[in-house]
């Protein structure tokens, strides 16, 4: 019953097409029955009675029936397969939209490859719901009923002898079907690992090459792909075993009819036409029975796919908040904030007030929790304990869209899209005109290389902007933030991976960006630390010291050590 509810839920938006398909399916089944019904008259009235003048008429009738059947089948196939395509399109759209609004922590537990597999591979399996399962329900079941009705009418006892074997088919198909579902789940799981491996290869190709790990990575991919192959072969064996079983039962049934029916004809209990009509009906009935068995196996594959898709769709969305804010004018307040990831405390009892217009530098050893702290501000994560307030309003209650409109982020991990420079700069302000885009690019010192490109601002920069240098990508990201013009700016080690020339240009762009904004900087450069209004020292998830550069140099051993570390050029904070 649960699977029927699932089918109704999934197909409900397409009920008009399904209804039209039912009509076409019933008409197709009726014509199939009419063909079996005609066999008696061809044998008894034309061949046995030697009334050959009707032979041409029956031949033309068969041609007409098969032509009508073909036309109806064409219409049915178009309606059902187009519905399947709509289902794939709509489900992928639904998944993509849902993924966009899932909290960020979800992506710590599921790899991108697994998510891609669910959106592409699992959704593709759903097409079989229309092309196989509903098709079986609309055409094969009515066809079986019509053909058995013809056979029962001609000779009920002979037909009943055959039907006694149907429960055996149903039991065996159900048993195989359960194993198909289990194996399909495993195959889809392993296929997601292959997708993940491929995604890793593409994104990490430079690292793979520089460490000469092509053979190792290829070996891992081949191993994962072999596991998928094995599972798919197991599924294939189970599905083909169902067909084999039905073929054997078909042979047994036809053999019984030939023996028992032949004896009936020999003893004069039935005519040759009745016998031929029953044989034709029973033989024809096993083709849709086989398709029903295949459909049941497809149904189990679909159930496995639906379970995996629903796992994504049932993931709770971000709490969007209700309180709309249009500006930031007072302060950001961290009140006894703690954050745990997988039961491990990353931030512990953070108390911090950031006044509007302040430049706050956050320093600390690697793993101290610096990035996690700033990620709490745009609510990529929510605190496990404590409260963050913006202008006195609990961040959890603030409408997410209005909150994030107030925030700009530039980090060392530059995210650009496979689009034009113009579209990438305008990403945070869809209403921006080209003049505004050029102004932001000039302020970010990006115009000097954009103007040298053949297509200028219409240049497509490739996936993640890989056709540009690191410094150029960073300046595009800064121009994007400038165009958005947010009152709160987060800089997450924005120059840590650049060469000295690029770093100088990017730093000038950052100084332009930081003017008249509240800025929280995960510090990398000495100038950023020294010029900050206050410096927050994080140590193992706790704030150990807060103060100006001069204050901390004289009072904080932890800061003094970090400062010497940066000043020596040996590392970053």
User: With contact defined as beta carbons under 8 Å apart, do 563 and 571 qualify?
Assistant: no
The pLDDT tens digits for 482-524 are 888 889 988 887 665 555 666 677 677 777 777 888 999 887 6
pLDDT at 334: 94
What's residue 324's pLDDT? 92
- The tokens describing 486, both together, are 């947010």
Residue 525 tokens read as: 């450069």
Structure-model confidence comparison of residues 247 and 371, the more confident one: 371
Please state, as a whole number, how many other Cβ atoms lie within 10 Å of the Cβ of residue 492: 19
**Structure confidence at residue 385 as a pLDDT band (50, 70, 90):** very high
pLDDT by residue (tens digit) across 402-420?
998 899 888 877 888 888 8
Q: What is the pLDDT of residue 524?
A: 62
Calculate the CA dihedral of residues 99, 102, 108, 109 and round it to 10 degrees.
-80
Q: For the residues 19-37, what does the mean pLDDT come to? A: 75
Burial of 436 (0-12, 13-18, 19+ CB in 10 A): middle
- Long-range Cβ contact pairs of 428-431 (< 8 A, separation 24 or more): 428/480, 428/481, 428/483, 428/484, 429/483, 429/484, 429/485
- The percent of residues in the chain predicted with pLDDT above 90, rounded, is 11
CA distance 457 to 464: 16
Q: Could you tell me which of 138, 136, 143, 139 has the C-alpha nearest to residue 36?
A: 143
Out of 78-82, 262-266, 380-384, the most confident range is: 380-384
Question: Number of C-alpha atoms within 13 angstroms, CB side, residue 500?
Answer: 1
Residue-wise pLDDT tens digits, 41-75 = 666 665 666 666 666 777 777 788 788 888 887 88
- State the pLDDT confidence band at 536, using cuts at 50, 70 and 90: very high
pLDDT in the model for residue 211: 65
Q: Is the pLDDT of residue 386 over 90?
A: yes
Query: HSE (CB half, 13 Å, CA atoms) of 47?
Result: 14
pLDDT band at 443 (very low <50, low <70, confident <90, very high): confident
Q: Beta-carbon neighbour count of residue 410 at 10 Å? A: 25
Per-residue pLDDT at 568 exceeds 70: no
Note whether 548 and 535 are within 8 A (CB).
Answer: yes
- So what's the pLDDT on residue 351? 94
Q: Is 90 exceeded by the pLDDT of residue 256? A: no
What is the spatial distance between Cα 344 and Cα 177, in angstroms, rounded to a whole number?
A: 43
Q: Does the pLDDT of residue 570 top 50, yes or no?
A: no
**Residue 441 structure tokens:** 């690019």
Q: Give residues with Cβ within 8 angstroms of 69, minimum separation 6.
A: 28, 31, 32, 35
């Amino acid at each position: 019953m649960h699977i029927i509810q699932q089918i109704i839920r999934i197909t409900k938006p397409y009920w008009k097409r399904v209804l039209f398909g039912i009509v076409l399916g019933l008409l197709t089944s009726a014509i199939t029955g009419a063909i079996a019904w005609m066999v008696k008259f061809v044998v008894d009235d034309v061949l046995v009675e030697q009334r050959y003048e009707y032979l041409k008429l029956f031949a033309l009738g068969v041609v007409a029936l098969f032509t009508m059947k073909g036309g109806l089948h064409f219409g049915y196939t178009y309606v059902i397969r187009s519905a399947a395509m709509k289902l794939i399109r709509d489900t992928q759209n639904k998944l993509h939209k849902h993924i966009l609004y899932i909290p960020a922590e979800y992506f710590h537990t599921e790899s991108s490859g697994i998510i891609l597999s669910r959106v592409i591979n699992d959704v593709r399996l759903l097409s079989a719901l229309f092309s196989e399962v509903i098709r079986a329900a609309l055409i094969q079941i009515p066809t079986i009923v019509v053909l058995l009705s013809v056979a029962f009418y001609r000779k009920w006892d002979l037909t009943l002898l055959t039907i006694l074997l149907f429960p055996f088919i149903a039991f065996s198909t159900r048993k195989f079907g359960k194993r198909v579902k289990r194996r399909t789940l495993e195959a889809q799981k392993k296929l997601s690992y292959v997708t993940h491996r491929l995604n890793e290869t593409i994104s990490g190709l430079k690292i793979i090459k520089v460490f000469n790990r092509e053979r190792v990575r290829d070996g891992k991919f081949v191993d994962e792909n072999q596991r998928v192959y094995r599972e798919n072969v197991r599924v294939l064996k189970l599905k083909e075993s169902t067909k084999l079983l039905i073929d054997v039962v078909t042979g047994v049934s036809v053999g019984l009819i030939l023996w028992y029916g032949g004896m009936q004809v020999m003893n004069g209990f039935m005519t040759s036409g009745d016998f031929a009509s029953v044989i034709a009906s029973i033989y024809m009935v096993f083709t849709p029975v086989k398709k029903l068995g295949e459909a049941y196996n497809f149904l189990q594959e679909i159930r496995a796919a639906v379970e995996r898709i629903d796992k994504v769709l049932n993931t709770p969305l971000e709490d969007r908040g209700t309180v709309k804010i249009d500006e930031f004018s007072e302060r950001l307040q961290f009140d006894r904030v703690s954050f745990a990831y997988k039961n491990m405390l990353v931030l512990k009892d953070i108390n911090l007030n950031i006044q509007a217009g302040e430049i706050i530098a956050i320093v600390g050893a690697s793993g101290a929790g610096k990035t996690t702290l700033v990620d709490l501000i745009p609510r990529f994560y929510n605190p496990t304990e404590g409260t963050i307030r913006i202008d006195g309003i609990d961040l959890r209650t603030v409408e997410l869209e209005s909150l994030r409109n107030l925030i700009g982020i530039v980090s060392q991990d530059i995210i650009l899209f496979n689009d034009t420079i113009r579209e990438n700069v305008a990403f945070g302000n869809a209403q921006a005109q080209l003049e505004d885009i050029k102004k932001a690019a000039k302020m970010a010192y990006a115009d000097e290389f954009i103007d040298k490109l053949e297509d200028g601002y219409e240049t497509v920069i490739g996936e993640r902007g890989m056709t540009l240098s690191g410094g150029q990508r960073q300046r595009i990201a800064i121009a994007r933030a400038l165009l958005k013009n947010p009152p709160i700016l987060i800089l997450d080690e924005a120059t840590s991976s650049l060469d000295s020339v690029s770093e100088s240009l990017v730093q000038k762009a950052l100084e332009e960006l930081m003017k008249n904004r509240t800025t929280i900087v995960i510090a990398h450069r000495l100038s950023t630390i020294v010029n900050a209004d206050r410096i927050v020292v994080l140590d193992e998830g706790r704030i150990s010291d807060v103060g100006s550069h001069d204050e901390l140099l004289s009072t904080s051993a932890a800061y003094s050590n970090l400062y010497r570390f940066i000043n020596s050029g040996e590392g970053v904070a």
